[in-house]
Structures are given as structure tokens and as C-alpha cells.
Chain A
């Protein structure tokens, strides 16, 4: 075990001011008033959107299946409270574009009446496949923000016979403390979830990794994990982005995930602490994933807190509860301040990915005053992926996207370290996101033009072939006619001679 401390290596990263103290010392608020209306997107996960099962006007209970998963990678969506489905239609998505996506609108009846699926007394008696099925049916996705369907990950872990399950309790994003509070307050449930996951993946070694700026969470988790020798709780250095799965895997196991591979292919799977907690609730109580703990923080928030809200609650209602001062709010962010997305307004629902909602004041934001690059190479130093952001940005600015791709554009994880550190305030990540989108668009355009060209070529070939065929038929017809006339003439000649 000593070897993993000597082998492990952290690359890049920044020491950001954490601002976690705004919310980390108070208990999770659980008395959030039930909203009158919930907007439940049918896609809250990576993969295909869920397909609606309930019709407008149907009455549903809390936790009842609203839309089922379709395809290999997808997740179902459940009713976050009891009530009546008012509408299934397109509403603005919690995304920087706020473009409409399909959502179900639920009018709550205030009873908050649960619909729980049947549970077994001892879930450890279930087969590992059954664990995956139940986790999948509960709509559980990675709650760290990636929202990859957890059941798919459990299956991959089992198929690849992983040797280590890492539970990500790093929570390296500044401001966020929901995982910290969850670990402090619900350590035993999380550890139970971890054990269930181990069972589901037929693995017998789990490491819970917690950044060393959360000693209380560490002690709580260590205490809860003490009876189980298969679970080891460790402290890791506080350094953003320690919670990047691949950085954490390298730190904990010394292994590096090759580009284009899933971590399970090298024997490791990583899940968030919140996910483990959701697994516990699904298997012990038959409760689907219908609410989550999120951090509401930032300089413009009057009552910063960690609060458990039903999925589909409008951000405006969360902000009203937390007394956000709109006149001071310069930017609304979903997620953390490093990788989170800025939102144009607050009439957008919270979703499974919403680990935090920040209302930041102008003074907290990175300045927009862009200066020329002085090649200080701070971005190279902090890049955890080993890229050279300054050169990539230069190429993108000159519209040389291929050169940027050669420099590793596709290996960028948008962690934001380069933008954070840049003394010239160059929005590097914005360049990379733009370029990545543009590269895909160009590839699609090229693909399309190639397809069009192929169709044209096919058509030309076909027309040519038809013309040739017609020509040949014509020739044959003429030949036949000539033949016929010849025969006729011969016949006539014979008749004459006879």
C-alpha cells in the first residue's frame, strides 16, 4: 500500500480560494417548501432521453415512473412529488442557451405521497445483475455532475472485473459543500451504498477519497467504514481538479486511463458519494432518485445553504428561499464556479446534475478585461491534462482548428484551470469549447458534402447506365428489326422461287 503514495502523482491544478465556509458548517436544510409546479426534463442524463409513459391529466405518486429509459445508455425519470401531470411539452432547459427541451410539468397536490417499489430485506442476497437493474430502474445517474447512468457503469465494472471502486468525495470545486455535508450527516448510508455497489460489481475493494480540507467528513466516513475492511477511507491533497476522475484514479491507484478507454478497462470504476447515497435509498427503501442536495451559495445569496430540493424545482424558487439579491447578482451558475454553466435566467428547473446554484456578484467574477498573452505559461503549468492552452488558443484565434486538434484540443476536459490562472484574463476554455463545437460541425458538414457527392456520383452512374442500357436496347431493337425484315425478305424470296 505504501507504493501508491510514492507512485501517485498530481499534475497541474490550482489552489483556488474555496469559499466553502459559506455553507459547510450548517446542516442540510430539508424543509424546502414543496413547489406548486415542477418542470421535469426527460433528459437529465448522458445518453438518450427517456420516453414518456404517463399522459397529461394522469395522477402520479412521488417516485412513480414518468418516462422509461430507452436504449443502451439512458435513465428513467420519476415524479419528484405526488400530483397531476399538466403538460408534456418543450420548456427552456437549464443550459447556457436555455433552448427548449421536452419536459413534464407536474402540479403537486401537497401530499407528497410516496410510491415505493418493493424492497427485499437483505439486498445483499440479490444477484449483482439485480442490483444493477434496481439501480437503473431508480433512475440513478452520476451525481457529481457527469450524470452517466450508474447502472451502465456498474455493469461495465462487473464485466471488466474491476479491482478497485473509488468513491469520489473530493468535491474540489470552490463554493460547493453538498458532498461534504452529505458525508458528515449521512456517512452510514453512503457506506451502505458503497457496499451495495461493491456487491453489484462483484468487487471487494473500495477507496473513499476525500480532500483534506474536509476533516469532519473524513472522520465521519472513516467511522462509518470502520466495520468493513473492504472500504478504505483516505485523505487526498486539496487541489482543484482533484475530483477529475482520471486525476483521482492516477492518484489513488497509480494507473493512468489511456485516451479513448473507460476507466473500468484498467480495473477501476469511480462513483460520487451522492450516487452511493442514492443507491442506498433505492435498494433499502425502494425510493427512486427524485430529489438531491445542492449548494446554494455566492456573494449575492442572503442565506447560503445546502438544501435538499425535489428535482424539477425552478431555480427562481430555490433562490427565493435562499434570499438571493437579484440586483447584486452578476452571474447565475449551475454547478461549481470552475466548470459550471452560466444560465441566462432563473426560470429553469434543477436537475439531477445540479450540484450547486451560485449567484455571484461582479467582484467575485473573473475580470472580462482581456490583455494580450504574455506567454507566462501559467496555463501550461496548471493544465492537468498536459496541454498547452496558450498555443491552442493562438491557433483557434487564427482559425487553424486542425493545428489545435493536433495540440490536443480533444483531450481538453474544460476544467477551467487555464482560464482561472490567466493573468491576461483570456477566456481560454471558451476558445476550446467553441473550437470543439466547430470541429464537430465542420466534420458533419464535410460528411454531408461527401454524402451528397456520393449520391450525385451514384445518380450520374445510374443515369449513364440507364442511357447505355437504352442505347443497347435500341440497338438490339434495330438489329431485331433488320433481322425480321431480312427473314421477311428471305421468306418472300422463297415464296417467289417456289
Chain B
């Protein structure tokens, strides 16, 4: 009986997971927070989300076509979709359409394809795009829509939303405001301490996600739910989220105890801005994070430290994007220095000594 003449080495069988399976699982985990965010900020947010995703797929298809490779299997692996999804979640929900398009272009072309495509990029594409947008278009990227859920009387309708997304927002002051982190920063500059600036702050509303912020970052509870589910599915490990959030919590606690008028409480740190989204879904990006458990703990702790430093003493109210990019650049270094110990060898790679008995 003659069968396959091409010799192959083991393993002849394999686990069922595939790249696209992993991507879809991550998207599934993002779905609750995304749906909540889209509902919370209404039609303009839905427009922005659709525009961002479609343009990312378009840019990916163009790049793959230019490389002369078949387009469909690459699109179907879901990586471009996931990148755009994550990017959309970090954008101000009522941002104009071109923010989404430019962001997707930056993420897919500059963040991913110029490095050689999937798996080759040094920096997280979504964060590259977000940070580039923030620096280039500071007004659009810091205009935060008020909470205006779908089908509420004072929320924009479908037609009105097209006007917001494609022509721009007319009446800025009536429908927008500051995020809590931005607000606190502004108050500090006017010498208002936390006791006065946080009078109307509600931890519970923030926790549920009933607050201004990026499209998908507001709901702590839904993001944590998705993240924990991903861990249970074995898609991500606990190392990065726990070390990142732990570091932020620890640093915030220390400073808050020392001076509760100048430093936000640890729970406010964890409950505001993009730190939860980043900890579970962005810092855990396989491509741009270290590949040993110890390395991942170092990476997560580094992200946490930078987030706290930028938020507390930096010029920007939120530092998650910058923190992730900075730590991305340290990933090769972490992987170079932190290696697993090879069986039968010591950490330096020398054979172990035979124990004297």
C-alpha cells in the first residue's frame, strides 16, 4: 500500500486551535463591552465603528494585493478586523469618519504591513494608530461625547448621527465634556484639589461604564468579564493583566495613602480610562509582548508603572497607549535577557553539575 510519499515529522496530530479561531475568540470576548459602548454612545459611535472596521479591511486587502498574495485567506484570519475593532474601542465615540479611516490606515499599513504583515510588527498596530492620531489631531481625539444611549430622547437619531460622523459636530459644548482623568488634570492646573473636583464622581457609574470616555473602554465590568473568559479559554495568560493592574493598584495605593488630595485612589485609576481594556486586550497581544511568563510579568509591570507615571505626572491625562508602545519596544530586550532554563542546564546554559552524594 503506497500512501503519502512525502516524509513528515511529528507531531502528526494537533490541537484544534488556529490563528483565526484565536482572533474570533478575542472578538467574542470584546463583544459585550463593544455592544455596551455602541449603545451608550448611540448612532455616531456605530458609524465610526463600521467605518473603522471597513477601512481596515480595505487597507489590508490593498496591501495583500500589492504583495501578490491571495486576499481572502488573509482577511479571513480576522487579524485586521481585530486590530480595527480594538482601535475603534479606543477612539472618542463621536469622532468624525476620517479619524477612523486615518487610524485604520496607520494601524494596518504603518503598524503592521510595512513590517511584513501578521506576526512581524514590533508595536501594537492599534496603539500606534491611536497615539499617532492623538498627537496629530488633539482636538478630535479629546472631544468626548456625553453619555447618550440609543433610543433615549435627547440622543441623536440615525440621520443626525450621519451629520455628526460625516460633517462634524455643530454644538460642541452641549453634547461633549471631559473624561474624569482629563477633568481632574484640568482642575489641578487651577489649583483645585481632589476633594472639590471629585464631588460629583460616582465610582459605581464608572464601574458599570456610565461615563464619558473612549468608545469601548468605559465598562470595567464587561471588559473584565471578557478578559477573564479569555483566560479561562486559555487564549491569554494571567501574567500581563495581573502584573499590569497590580502595579497600577500598588503605586496608586501608596501615593493615595501618602497624599489623598493630589493622587487619585487606586480604584479610580483602575476604573477610569483605558487601563482595563489595555491590560486584558492590548498589552496581551501575542506579537508584541514577551514570550516567557517571567518576561510577561516584567512587561505588564512596566506598562503599569508607565501608565501611572504618565497619568500622574505627564502632560496627558491618560497614558495607556504610550505605556504599551514603550514597553513594546522593550520586548525584544526582555526576551533576550529572560529565557527559560533549559532542562539539565543552569541559567547560563552550562550543564548542571552532578550532585555529589
Give residues in A with beta carbon < 8 Å to B. 11, 14, 16-17, 96-97, 174, 246, 255-261, 265-267, 316, 319, 324, 326, 329-333, 337-342, 344-346, 358, 360, 364-367, 371-377, 380-381, 383-388, 390-391, 408, 411, 414, 416-417, 419-425, 427, 429-430, 433
8 additional A-B pairs beyond A338-B10, A424-B19, beta carbons within 8 Å, are A256-B344, A257-B344, A266-B355, A331-B4, A372-B19, A372-B119, A374-B22, A414-B10
- Alpha-carbon distance between A14 and B4 when the two chains are bound, in angstroms: 27
B344 to A374, Cβ gap below 8 A? no
B340 touches A423 (CB 8 A): no
Residues of A with C-beta under 8 A to B139: none
B60-68, B144-152, B157-165, B346-354: which lies at the A interface? B346-354
B70, CB-defined interface residue at 8 Å: no
A interface: dominant SS:
loop
Q: In the bound complex, what is the Cα–Cα distance between A430 and B293 (angstroms)?
A: 26
Q: Is the CB of B345 within 8 A of A411?
A: yes
Asked if B119 contacts A364 (CB within 8 A), the reply is: no
Q: Is B1 an interface residue (CB 8 A)?
A: yes
Stretch from B41-49, B191-199, B284-292 at the A interface: B284-292
Q: A380 and B292: CB pair below 8 A?
A: yes
Complex CA–CA separation, A266 to B117 (angstroms): 48
Contact of A319 with B353 at beta-carbon distance under 8 Å, contacts A259-B345, A366-B11, A417-B11 already known: no
Q: A386-B342, A427-B9 are in contact. Are A258 and B3 (CB under 8 A)?
A: no
Q: Is the interface of B mostly helix, strand, loop or mixed?
A: loop
The answer to whether B4 and A342 touch across the interface, beta carbons within 8 angstroms, is yes
Residues of B within 8 A of A381 (CB): 293
Query: Looking across the interface, which residue of chain B has its beta carbon closest to that of A16?
Result: B13
- Which A residues touch B291, using CB under 8 A? 375, 377, 380, 388, 390
A259 is contacted by which of B118, B335, B352 (Cβ under 8 Å)?
B352
> Within 8 Å of chain A (Cβ to Cβ): is B135?
no
Closest to A257 in B: B344
Q: Which residues of B contact A257 (CB under 8 A)?
A: 344
Across the interface, A345 reaches (CB within 8 A) one of B2, B12, B119, namely B2
List, in ascending order, chain A residues with CB within 8 A of B351's CB. Answer: 258-261
CB distance from B272 to the nearest CB of A (A): 30
Question: Which residues of A have CB within 8 Å of B344?
Answer: 246, 256-261, 411
> B120: CB under 8 A from chain A?
yes
Q: Which residues of B contact A (CB under 8 A)?
A: 1-5, 7-15, 17-19, 21-22, 77, 79, 117-120, 286-287, 291-293, 335, 339-345, 349, 351-355, 357
Decide if B13 touches A366 in the complex (CB within 8 Å).
yes
With CB as the reference atom, state the residue of chain B lying closest to A161: B357
Instruction: Enumerate the 8 nearest inter-chain pairs by beta-carbon distance, A residue then B residue, closest first.
Output: A366-B14, A416-B11, A377-B291, A96-B7, A258-B352, A259-B344, A416-B10, A420-B11
Chain A residues near B1 (CB-CB < 8 A): 316, 319, 324, 326, 329, 332, 345-346
| A258-B352, A258-B354 as given contacts; A385 in contact with B342, CB under 8 Å | yes
Asked whether A371 and B19 contact (CB < 8 A) given A11-B343, A385-B343, A387-B340, the answer is yes
- Chosen A-B contacts, 10 in total, with CB atoms closer than 8 Å, are A259-B342, A267-B357, A338-B11, A342-B4, A366-B11, A371-B77, A388-B339, A411-B345, A416-B9, A420-B11
CB-based contact B8/A384 at 8 Å: no
When distances are taken between beta carbons in the complex, the residues of chain A under 8 Å from B117 are 372
The CA-CA distance from A16 to B287 in the complex, in Å, is 25
Q: Complex: how many Å from CA A260 to CA B349?
A: 12
B22 touches A337 (CB 8 A): no
Given A385-B342, A408-B342, A332 and B3 contact (CB-CB distance below 8 Å): yes
In the bound complex, residues from chain A placing their C-beta under 8 Å from that of B22 are 374, 376, 423
